[in-house]
Amino acid sequence: MTSTEQNRAGTSIETAIQEYLKSLKVQNLAARTIKEAAWRLGKLTAYLESRGVTGITGITKDVIVSYRIEQYERINQMGRPNGVCHQNMLLATVKQFTRWLWEFDYLVSDPAKEIRYAKQPKTLPRGILTPTEARKILHAPDTKSVLGYRDRTILEILYSTGIRKDELVRLTLDDVDYNDGFLRVFGKGRKERMVPLGRIACRYLENYIKSVRPELIRDPLDKTLFLSLRHRPLSKNVVWELTKRHARKAKITKNVHPHTFRHTCATQMLRNKAHIRAVQELLGHESLDSTQVYTHVSITDLKEIHASCHPREKDKE
């Protein structure tokens, strides 16, 4: 062990975490990413304290495995065990932290290196809308009112582009080109991408900016695209609520939320022969694996293929 390692080995967990979070800021990671890392490491700290572990040398493989088991057995606020995705996200943050501790000589080895993630079940997106259902929701807002026209514009953009609600509420006037039909979107980790916008969505967006948004704006220097009646940027919760409200008004019984339009956009484009790489770019997925979940074949599609391709279906008796 070097002298540097000996000096850092006595570092408290709280101090090490603060240094780690500072390193994330230096890397220019998104504030949300850093906030989530701090929250997850806070859960680790609470567990370690309950075990009497206060120094970083107490973070061993056995302790991390025990922490993982504790999270597996924990019942969440919904009265259910923590899901595999949640467990893996907590473990991912721990693994990133312990790797950093090793790389910067706080530890002589990485105690989480050999710990594997839990196998995550592959689930298909639920509640995909049919084109008819999507149109019913799009037509639900009263476009004769200011908020109704704003809501219609939001729904048109969600359906046309498949962007996330977080990405939508961060849009500004500088991100919009309704003449050429593009949006500049900042996704996870502040990653920028250009997204095509359909002609109908462009028409609504242009009218909203020219005729409706002026009714909602108070500060002429504020370039936030979508605003509330109180002249403030829309929150993600408001987008969630308005989507739910218009789906109920359209009498859609499926569980509709903003991400439903993302799932629906991707699924319908792939069904209409869009190349999976193009859909990957549209959605801003880093990995093609994330996009491939939308290539599932629905039971309706499967029935049609079965009826047209199975030889027995051509027999009269």
**What is the set of active-site residues?**
164, 188, 259, 262, 285, 294
Q: How far apart are the first and last CA of the chain?
A: 81
User: Which of the 8 DSSP states describes residue 131?
Assistant: H
How many residues does the structure list for the chain? Answer: 317
251-275 exposure pattern, b = at least 16 Cβ within 10 A, e = fewer: ebeeebbbbbbbbbbbbbbbeeeee
Q: What is the largest CA-CA distance in the chain?
A: 86
Q: Is 267 helix (H, G, I), strand (E, B) or coil?
A: helix
Nearest to 228 by CA among 212, 243, 244: 212
Residue (of 260, 247, 257) closest to 138 by Cα position: 247
Beta sheet of 192-196, edge-to-edge order: 176-177, 182-186, 192-196
Q: For 46-200, list the strands marked E by DSSP.
A: 176-177, 182-186, 192-196
Please give the Cα distance from 197 to 185 (Å, whole number): 11
Q: Report how far residue 41's alpha carbon sits from residue 28's, in angstroms, rounded to the nearest whole number.
A: 19
Query: Residues near 259 by Cβ (< 8 Å), separated by ≥ 6?
Result: 164, 165
